[in-house]
Structure formats: C-alpha cells, structure tokens
C-alpha cells in the first residue's frame, strides 16, 4: 500500500468527493429500504402459513420483484410459498397489486438512475485526481465489473 500514490486534492475536491460519497450511501440505503419494504409486504401478504413455515422466505426471483412482470412475480411467489396457484391470476389481486408495484418499481428505477449518475460523477472526480487516461479508465472499469 505504501507504493500507491495518493494525489494531493484541494479542499474543494475533497469536500465534493465526500459529499458525493455520502449521497451514494444515502441513495443506496433508500433503494434498499424501498426494495425490502415491498419484499416484506409480499411476504406478509402471500406467506399464508406463517406458523408452519416460519423459515420460508422469498426466492431469488421474487426478492428481485422490481425486475419481474406481474406474472413472473406471481409464479415466484407461488414457488416461494408453495401456493396452489399464481396469486396474480386472480384479477382482483392483480389489480390491487399492479399499481402498487408499478409505483415502487418507478421509485427503484429513479433511485438506481440517480445512484448511477452520482457514482459516475464521483468516479470522474477521482479519475481526474489520479490523472487517469481514457485507456486506464476503461481498464479499471472493466476490472471492477468482474
């Protein structure tokens, strides 16, 4: 670690980077809160036999509810909680949940977009401090993705 150069950042750069890092943390926490709120609501509503299967949780597909269509989510809930059928095959249930899920999907999408923009701004500031070339930035980004 002693060989890693730490650039001398101005007070303004340090403050801007700190503010962006805090904003990323806030956005990540808000997004997590939105996602887990809906996960809890799904579990409370569709996990009908709480006493017999208290350890039962949402499967991976249902846990990522914001990436699922209503039918996909219903199928995932059926599997998660061993339901007799996809609960959203019932038009009344589908109608009740459709707008709720759409509203929360939009919130997650907005939060994801704002977080990505904020992270990009933070990264760009750090890249400038280290005087990285476009090729070095591409290499770093490629390595971080994996």
DSSP assignment of 8-53 equals ---HHHHHHHHHHHHHHHHHHHHHHHHHHHHHHHHHHHH---TTTT
* pLDDT score for 146: 66
Per residue in 89-123, pLDDT (tens digit) is: 999 999 999 999 999 999 999 999 999 999 999 99
Burial of 65 (0-12, 13-18, 19+ CB in 10 A): buried
Count other Cβ atoms within 10 Å, centred on residue 62.
Answer: 23
Is the pLDDT at 52 greater than 70? The verdict is no
Is the pLDDT at 5 greater than 80? The verdict is no
Tell whether the torsion through CA atoms of 45, 47, 48 and 54 is positive or negative: negative
Contact between 17 and 7 (Cβ < 8 Å): no
- Label residue 58 left, alpha or beta by phi (over 0 means left) and psi (-120 to 50 means alpha): beta
Instruction: Give the pLDDT mean for 79-93.
Output: 95
Is the pLDDT at 1 greater than 70? The verdict is no
Count other Cβ atoms within 10 Å, centred on residue 93.
Answer: 16
């Amino acid at each position: 670690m002693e060989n890693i150069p730490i650039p001398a950042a101005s007070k303004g750069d340090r403050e801007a980077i700190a503010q962006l890092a805090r904003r990323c943390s806030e956005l990540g926490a808000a997004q997590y809160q939105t996602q887990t709120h809906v996960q809890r609501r799904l579990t409370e509503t569709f996990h009908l036999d709480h006493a017999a299967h208290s350890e039962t949780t949402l499967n991976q597909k249902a846990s990522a509810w914001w990436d699922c269509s209503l039918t996909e989510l219903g199928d995932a809930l059926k599997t998660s909680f061993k339901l007799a059928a996809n609960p959203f095959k019932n038009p009344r249930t589908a109608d009740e949940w459709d707008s709720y899920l759409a509203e929360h999907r939009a919130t997650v999408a907005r939060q994801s977009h704002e977080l990505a923009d904020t992270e990009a701004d933070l990264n760009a500031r750090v890249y400038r401090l280290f005087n990285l070339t476009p090729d070095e930035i591409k290499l770093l980004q490629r390595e971080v993705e994996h």
